[in-house]
Amino acid sequence: MTGPRQVGTIGSTIADGLHLTIYCDQFGCRNYRTLDLEDLKTRYGQDFRVADCVGRSKCSKCGARWPRVSIRFAPIDTGGFR
């Protein structure tokens, strides 16, 4: 496989009001973590590609990497406030 598909940047993900969770799809592991996008923006810049983030990710439980590590986007729950 060539790598994760382009899905935007950290800055565009924040601007869209989404959060990003990395999931380990390794059989039996199923570990996950919601990423701190503001921290990633500070460290790598708002133009840092989400695909690059996934490509660098490693499961903290089993050590799996792409393609057994995937991402999911979801709206940030603001409790009804925007």
Q: How many CB atoms lie within 10 A of CB 43?
A: 10
Give the Cα separation of 77 and 82 in Å (integer). 9
Mean pLDDT of the region 7-24: 89
Mean pLDDT of 13-25: 89
pLDDT score for 71? 80
Query: Domain residue spans in the chain?
Result: 10-75
> Residue 12: in which H helix or E strand, if any?
helix 10-15
Given this model, what pLDDT does residue 59 score?
93
- Asked whether the bond before 75 is cis by omega within 30 degrees of 0, the reply is no
Instruction: Give 37-72 pLDDT, tens digit per residue.
Output: 999 999 999 999 998 888 888 999 999 988 788 888
Q: List CB contacts of 63: < 8 A, sequence separation 6 or more.
A: none
